[in-house]
A and B are shown apart, each in its own frame.
Chain A
Amino acid sequence: MTRRLLMGSEAICEGAIAAGVRFYAGYPITPATEVAEFMSARMPQVGGSYVQMEDEMGSFAAAMGASCAGVKAMTASSGPGLALMQEEIGHAIAGEIPVVLVNVGRHGPGIGNATGSAQMEVMQAKYGPNGDCPMIALSPSTIEEAFWLTVKCVNLAERYRTPTILLTEGLLALQRSVVDLPDYGKVETWERPRPEGAPSEYANPYMATSLTAVPPMGDFGTGYRSIFRTGGIQPQHGAKMTRFEAQHFSTTRLNQKVEAHRDELALTEALQTEDADVLYVAFGTQFHPARAAMQMARAKGIKAGVLRLITIWPFPDKAIRQAAQHAKLAVVPEMNLGQLRGLVTQALAGSGIRIDGVNHVNSLTITPQEILAKTEDMLR
């Protein structure tokens, strides 16, 4: 274990390296540039490659190419770059190519305020690409957790052969704090399924026989027929099917291979929700004011609890319903105009729980006092 003063971006890079990432392609954008900077220094040190690309689309595409060659790959950007990458993200989903994307949230829309932190990509992370897409997106609340969730993003991308997003914020990525880094040799890493039989028996990387299957993927240059990769759906099934049946099967499988594991993927942390009349649902950096508000509310005799969402996608709706069992009202503090609140409202539909938000789009962290004031206002 090593104790270091680390910037959030640096913790993300170290997490990626610990998880086995050895390729990074990127294009600078505030506030994600530091990820590229650290990677440009670290990749050569660990025998990896760093490529400065011409734009965000090129960055994601280069990461996909490296991944097809069997290397764990990552890229990073912020809102405007994430918007540009959507075509490639959809391509990686359809082509089942593992890539980790770090999104360091900044204020938008458009160019917005580059140096202003925000949580404005909650919906874009999942609904950015066209078509019905699965998505795994995790959001850290502390710098130490940024390390561990990056490891998890890499592992999940590999296991499910799908792009994953680390949904973080300028505030966390550009902040420094003391972190205990583990011995990287002891960090658990997962690999993508690779073909085991002879190359002559391997048809292609899309052959699946069940809706939750993640077919083995051969690395480029190893003799397996894996050269042909496209963003088009690969209607492949071991059994005989019509084209329409195969298309239905493949599209459903892309989603089901993730959806079937929703319970283990949807990570949350519940604080004093067992008896909570008031539920705060928060993620990322805004968990901290929510927890402080809970303590202030409890001191005043208001039974408040916090559900922190570690996973944003697949959305942890079960955990929200569980945490809201006794709740009369829910408050969602977030650094946007109510993206998470919409999802919470959907999860609690029919429960009769009143839901409101505390929303900041000025890039200043929400204060516990504001959350408490909203709570008291709603209780009145």
Chain B
Amino acid sequence: MRMEIRFAGVGGQGLVRASIVLAEAAGIQAGLHVVQTQFYGFETEGGPSCGDVVLGDAPVEYPWVRQPDLLVAMAQPAVYEHAPFMRPGTRMLVDDLFVTDVAMVDRGVTVLWAPLTKLADQAGFRKSANMVALAACARLTGLLTYDRVESALRAAGPGHFKVNQQALRLGWEADLRSHVFAPGEKSAYMEEGFRGV
């Protein structure tokens, strides 16, 4: 088993941090083989940014994420950049505030909409949207329990722990609305009224 997970968005959204906590949950708490890497540009905030995790039940030979099995898109440019590499049968978790167009996702990729940023607002701290995304994503892997993810968050340090924990809980329980795009099918899902919900 090899699972490639990518948190993609713009610098400042905490995507690398989300990938580190996921790697901690999988590698230390769940005992899986794990490699975490990241990509970011020269910009500190606002540029393209990714936090990547490869999970496996055997040592990870190839550390890079090539074609994510699970993409978490926290901003619109992330969809444009990474959707073309998604294979049929994989999943994309998108933030319903900052992603408004998934028209290009048309090859049997399941798009799961979640109010990631809005739930973070509900927790009282927008920057904790990465923890909402992390929890929703961790649940989607089917390999982790909530407790393991929370333990990993605890290990990451005490900063903003309470609000992050709240965000984690909201993310874990988030209601994900899905739609599988048939080959060739375009943005019908969008037109049904999910744009900028």
Q: Given contacts A288-B62, A365-B64, are A3 and B20 in contact (CB under 8 A)?
A: no
A367: Cβ under 8 A from any B Cβ: yes
Q: Mark A1-45, 1 if CB is under 8 A from B, else 0.
A: 001110000000000000000000000000000000000000000
B77: Cβ under 8 A from any A Cβ: no
B63: Cβ under 8 A from any A Cβ: yes
B95: Cβ under 8 A from any A Cβ: no
A-B contact count (CB 8 A): 52
- A114: chain B residues at CB < 8 Å are 42
Q: Mark B16-42, 1 if CB is under 8 A from A, else 0.
A: 000010011001100001111111111
Is the CB–CB distance between B23 and A365 below 8 Å? no
Is the CB–CB distance between A174 and B38 below 8 Å? yes
CA distance A288 to B63 in the complex (A): 10
CA distance A186 to B155 in the complex (A): 26
B61: Cβ under 8 A from any A Cβ: yes
Give, as a whole number of angstroms, the nearest-CB distance from B12 to chain A.
17
Give, as a whole number of angstroms, the nearest-CB distance from A169 to chain B.
11
> Which of A174, A175, A368 neighbours the largest number of chain B CB atoms within 10 Å of its CB?
A175
A171: Cβ under 8 A from any B Cβ: yes
Q: Mark B39-50, 1 if CB is under 8 A from A, else 0.
A: 111100000000
A187: Cβ under 8 A from any B Cβ: no
> Which of B38, B60, B61 neighbours the largest number of chain A CB atoms within 10 Å of its CB?
B61
Q: Given contacts A289-B61, A367-B62, are A5 and B40 in contact (CB under 8 A)?
A: no
Is the CB–CB distance between B63 and A171 below 8 Å? yes
Give, as a whole number of angstroms, the nearest-CB distance from A113 to chain B.
10
- B42: chain A residues at CB < 8 Å are 114-115
Q: Mark A163-201, 1 if CB is under 8 A from B, else 0.
A: 000000001001111100000000000000000000000
A373: Cβ under 8 A from any B Cβ: no
Is the CB–CB distance between A5 and B61 below 8 Å? no
Is the CB–CB distance between B40 and A176 below 8 Å? no
Is the CB–CB distance between B36 and A4 below 8 Å? no
Give, as a whole number of angstroms, the nearest-CB distance from B3 to chain A.
16
Give, as a whole number of angstroms, the nearest-CB distance from A271 to chain B.
14
A378: Cβ under 8 A from any B Cβ: no
Is the CB–CB distance between B64 and A364 below 8 Å? yes
Is the CB–CB distance between A4 and B35 below 8 Å? no
- A288: chain B residues at CB < 8 Å are 61-63
Is the CB–CB distance between B34 and A177 below 8 Å? yes
Q: Given contacts A177-B36, A178-B34, are A3 and B28 in contact (CB under 8 A)?
A: yes
CA distance A175 to B54 in the complex (A): 11
Question: A178's contact among B28, B38, B40, by CB below 8 Å, is which?
Answer: B28
Question: B27's contact among A177, A285, A289, by CB below 8 Å, is which?
Answer: A177
Is the CB–CB distance between A5 and B27 below 8 Å? yes
Is the CB–CB distance between A365 and B62 below 8 Å? yes
A292: Cβ under 8 A from any B Cβ: yes
- A289: chain B residues at CB < 8 Å are 61-62
Is the CB–CB distance between A4 and B37 below 8 Å? no
Give, as a whole number of angstroms, the nearest-CB distance from B49 to chain A.
11
CA distance A175 to B63 in the complex (A): 8
Interface residues of A (CB under 8 A from B): 3-5, 114-115, 171, 174-178, 285, 288-289, 291-292, 364-365, 367-368
Pairs A–B under 8 Å by Cβ, sample size 13? A5-B20, A5-B24, A114-B42, A174-B38, A175-B36, A175-B37, A175-B63, A177-B27, A177-B34, A285-B63, A288-B63, A292-B61, A365-B64
Having A115-B41, A178-B28, one finds 14 other A-B pairs with CB under 8 Å, namely: A5-B28, A115-B39, A115-B40, A171-B63, A174-B38, A176-B20, A176-B23, A176-B34, A176-B35, A176-B37, A177-B35, A288-B61, A289-B61, A292-B61
